[in-house]
C-alpha cells in the first residue's frame, strides 16, 4: 500500500512540475535557466518514480 501512495504522490508532482516547466518555456524559451532548472527537477522526479515501478 505504501508504494501505491508513493507512486500517486510522485505522479502528481511530475504532472505539476511538467505543467510549470511548459508554462515557463512558453514565456522564456526552452533554454532559459529557470526552464532548465525545472527540467532537471522533473528528471529527478521521473528517476525516483522509475525506481519505484521497476
pLDDT 10s digits, 16-48: 999 999 999 999 999 999 999 999 999 999 999
Residues 6+ apart with CB under 8 A from 49: 7, 10, 11, 14
Domain of residue 49 covers 2-53
Q: Indicate the number of domains in the chain.
A: 1
The confidence band for 54, taking pLDDT boundaries of 50, 70 and 90, is: confident
Q: What is the rounded CA–CA span in Å between residue 32 and residue 28?
A: 6
Give the domain CATH number at 39.
Answer: 4.10.280
Q: Region 3-10: what's the mean pLDDT?
A: 93
Overall pTM > 0.85: yes
Amino acid at each position: 500500500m505504501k508504494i501505491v501512495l508513493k507512486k500517486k504522490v510522485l505522479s502528481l508532482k511530475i504532472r505539476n512540475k511538467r505543467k510549470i516547466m511548459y508554462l515557463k518555456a512558453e514565456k522564456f524559451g526552452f533554454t532559459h535557466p529557470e526552464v532548465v532548472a525545472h527540467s532537471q527537477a522533473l528528471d529527478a522526479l521521473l528517476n525516483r518514480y522509475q525506481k519505484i515501478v521497476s
